Amino acid sequence: MSEGKRAKSLPHKTKSKPITYYLVLIIKLLSYDLVLWFFNLVIHTFFRDVQSRGSFNIPTRGPVIFVIAPHHNQFVDGLVVMAKVKEHSGRRIAFLIAKKSYDRRIIGEGAKLCSAIPVERAQDLLKKGTGKIYVDKEDNRIIRGEGTKFNAECQVKGLIGLPNSLGNGSIQEIFDDEKILLKKPFSSPREEIQQRIDEKLHAGTEFKIAPHIDNHVVFQNVFTHLNDGKVLGIFPEGGSHDRPDLLPLKPGVAIMALGAIAQQIEEVNAAAAGSSEREEVVPVSIVPVGLSYFHPHKFRSRVVIEFGKPIIVDEKMAEQYESNSREAVDKLLKIITLGLKEVTMTCNDYETLMVLQAARRLYTSGNRDNIPLPMVIEMNRRLIKGYEMYKNEPDVIQLKEAVLQYNKKLRDLNLHDHQVESLDTSNRVSNFWRFTTRFFKFSLFMGLSLPGIFLFSPVFIISRRISRKKAKEALAASVVKIKAKDVLSTWKILVAMVLAPMLYIFWSVIGTILIVKSKILGEYQPSVWIIFVIFYGWAVLTTYASLRMGEIGIDYYKSLAPLFLSMLSINEDRFQIEKLKETREELREKVNAFCNKFGPGMFDDFEQFYKKYNGTTDDEEFDVITAQKQQAENQFSKLQRQTSASSLDFNLSNLSDIPIFAAADLEQANDVNLTKESEEIERGESQQDNKEANEETVEQLNNVTKSTDGPKMRVRKAMKEKYSNLQ
């Protein structure tokens, strides 16, 4: 194509942008970096350790979608991912965020400065309807009203919801003011919730209504964002939760990638009309991101973020998306779900997760003084996989019960598993000396931290109370949360961000007044503002130093309990301690036997994995080795969740009805098809064979869509050339 023709078909490419455009762009970038720098300080203050794994999987150029799960820590999750992506790749993520959160004061202002894209959700617009509703006795999809105004208040494709977040239904047809037809009846997979739904609908209940939300504009904004070579972040589970397993994913994330490619193809084809030359389409990379927290709601806890291998959505995903958009989206979503399962720890219930984590501690006891966090995550994941495959075996059931009893015994004695190994009743004099020494160190460091504790104690107390109150409110309004622990850390941080500066100002004012009034500095007394700034800095440094000292003191404190028991225990307690140690050793042998019997090769790379995280193995080289082994293990993986088998078409002309987020708190179980259908790959194939099989699956997702909206043509030649240079 000649330059003249190119300029004619794409006139906006030849026009130089005004200087104000570049000024606004620079301001946005600086604002993003400044906000991220501040929140990075907040994150590293709240968490004691933030580690990442697989950072080399982050594409340095081209459009990228980071798909993040599980969503266990509300707004904190996004901050952790933003900070690590910026640190490792220099790229800036724009998150999809609920409009309700986007409009909040602190959260909303931060989201706007970080170029977040707001998404309106119907459940956020629910309001009380007039009258009461009942379920029809013959058809549970028909809802009848008493004193209702369905024609005036409801919309087709809108929502009608039950009180206390018991569920909602999509309206398929409105017959009159007192009769509507739902797309699917109200239901819940939890028996107790279903019973409450039935009771309310048969007795008559108040209800809520929400209008139909047109997501077409949001999708177009996302397509533009991606086709400009930018980065997008999304939590496909929807709202945050504290469940041990992943919530079902909605098709929005798959449509975003496929739709962006489809729109690019249209623009490229239109630009190349009448010419033999054709620009290349830039593929979209979908990067699965797993977040693993160790007590996410607790101050100074730890977190590991893992970046999975990118899923490439390219021009070849055209043919099937054009002929069958639903099937293409469903297949891509399966691949995304599989990718997320490979970087997350998911378990069916909390009790089993606790048992498997205890089993991992038993397996590693005595092997390493300090197991790296990424290794802990990997071992937990492999144990979960092995357990899910063989959980019905008699010896596995017996082992689970034994570990449960062991955990109960530890709780009764107020001990942790790692403390059992240090219990020793053989030499009381030695134990007394160690106890005295560590108690002295504990007292010393805690004494050094007292000034900061005193200065900052109002923040600790108030943030704790407010976060617990917010957790109760969130739990009452949700049917998916267990204890609503996912909101605790967010509210602790928000309260601290508001109260800490106020508290520092208060103490600085008090100190300044005392210095000025007492005239202790005499003729050398500086100005009031200098004194104030000095006191403010002193307050901040004091709390930080106290934080570091307190951490060391707490570490010594945790070692005192087993020493105390070993030193002062009577004969009966000494027998109990010895019995506990024997029980632990027996369990350790059983766990080893489980791994040897049911997971050959499950931990055969223990030494290499350990060396990698101690700087002796190249990161990328190890990933190739690990990938080959995990590839065989992944063949056992089963996709237990899929998108709903709705009648929606997922092409670009029908985006208004596509849900972007899973409505985690209000989504009905019947909107998500929790099928047990899975795709199993033959075992024993080489890594190359699996790669070719995956590429074959991706090729089936080919996507070329004829959009009815006639989007504005945008061919980004510079970005495509840069991307091609990376290949």
User: Could you tell me the CATH number of the domain that includes residue 151?
Assistant: 2.40.30
Q: Tell me whether the omega of the peptide bond preceding residue 70 falls within 30 degrees of 0, making it cis.
A: yes
Pairing of strands 301-307, 284-294: antiparallel
Q: What is the per-residue pLDDT for 371?
A: 66
Which CATH number belongs to the domain containing residue 68 in this structure?
3.40.1130
The terminus-to-terminus CA distance of the chain in angstroms comes to 24
93 shares a domain with 34: yes
Q: What is the per-residue pLDDT for 434?
A: 79
Average pLDDT over residues 571-575: 59
Write out pLDDT tens, residues 299-357.
888 888 989 899 998 888 766 777 778 888 888 988 898 888 888 877 666 677 777 77
Q: What is the per-residue pLDDT for 661?
A: 58
Residue 354's CB is within 10 A of a number of other CB atoms, namely: 15
Residue at which a domain ends, from 210, 235, 256: 210
Write out pLDDT tens, residues 414-444.
677 766 766 665 566 777 887 888 889 889 9
Q: If DSSP codes are grouped into helix, strand and coil, which group holds residue 584?
A: helix
Q: What is the per-residue pLDDT for 500?
A: 92
Quick check: 467 pLDDT over 90?
yes
Residue 290 tokens, joined: 């797993």
Residue 184 tokens, joined: 């699917």
Query: Is 517 within a domain?
Result: yes
Tell me the CB-side half-sphere exposure of residue 236, using CA atoms within 13 A: 30
Number of compact structural domains in the chain:
4
Residue 157 tokens, joined: 């494709």
204 shares a domain with 73: no
706 shares a domain with 721: yes
Query: Is 630 within a domain?
Result: no
d(CA 673, CA 662): 13
d(CA 650, CA 656): 10
Quick check: 394 pLDDT over 50?
yes
86 vs 319, more confident: 86
Residue 705's CB is within 10 A of a number of other CB atoms, namely: 21
Query: Is 629 within a domain?
Result: no
d(CA 586, CA 590): 6
Q: What is the per-residue pLDDT for 20?
A: 86
249 shares a domain with 296: yes
> By mean pLDDT, which of 192-201, 228-237, 478-487 is the weakest?
478-487
Query: Is 238 within a domain?
Result: yes
Residue 17 tokens, joined: 């942008």
Residue 576's CB is within 10 A of a number of other CB atoms, namely: 16
Average pLDDT over residues 243-269: 85
Quick check: 380 pLDDT over 70?
yes
384 shares a domain with 288: no
Phi-psi region of 12 (alpha: psi -120 to 50; beta: other; left: phi over 0): alpha
pLDDT-derived band of residue 654, with 50, 70 and 90 as boundaries? low
Would you say 342 and 289 are in contact if contact means Cβ atoms under 8 Å apart? no
Write out pLDDT tens, residues 22-74.
888 899 899 999 999 999 999 999 998 888 888 899 999 999 999 998 888 88
Residue 457 tokens, joined: 């104690």
pLDDT-derived band of residue 714, with 50, 70 and 90 as boundaries? very low
d(CA 151, CA 138): 23
Query: Is 433 within a domain?
Result: no
DSSP bridge partners of 205: 133
710 shares a domain with 653: yes
116 shares a domain with 9: yes
Write out pLDDT tens, residues 286-308.
999 999 888 888 888 888 898 98
Q: Which residues contact 207 (CB under 8 A, 6 or more apart)?
A: 128, 129, 132, 133, 160, 161, 162, 163
Residue at which a domain ends, from 210, 240, 270: 210
473 shares a domain with 523: yes
Residue 599 tokens, joined: 């997971």
d(CA 727, CA 708): 34
pLDDT-derived band of residue 12, with 50, 70 and 90 as boundaries? very low
Query: Is 74 within a domain?
Result: yes
574 vs 234, more confident: 234
117 shares a domain with 25: yes
Average pLDDT over residues 267-296: 84
Query: Is 369 within a domain?
Result: yes
Residue at which a domain ends, from 210, 237, 262: 210
Burial category of 429 from C-beta neighbours within 10 Å (exposed 0-12, middle 13-18, buried 19 and up): exposed
- Domain of 81 in residue numbering reads as 3-121+215-342+640-726
Q: What is the per-residue pLDDT for 608?
A: 61
Task: Give the helix ranges, DSSP H, for 228-349.
Answer: 252-271, 319-323, 325-341
Residue 231 tokens, joined: 């980065």
Average pLDDT over residues 608-615: 54
Query: Is 435 within a domain?
Result: no
Pairing of strands 117-119, 127-128: unpaired
Quick check: 401 pLDDT over 50?
yes
Average pLDDT, rounded, for the chain: 76
Q: What is the per-residue pLDDT for 587?
A: 84
* Angle of the 394-413 helix axis to the 350-364 helix axis, nearest 10: 90
264 shares a domain with 331: yes
610 shares a domain with 461: no
419 shares a domain with 354: yes
Pairing of strands 208-210, 127-128: antiparallel
Let me know how long the chain is: 727
Angle at 267 between CA 261 and CA 271, to 5 degrees: 145
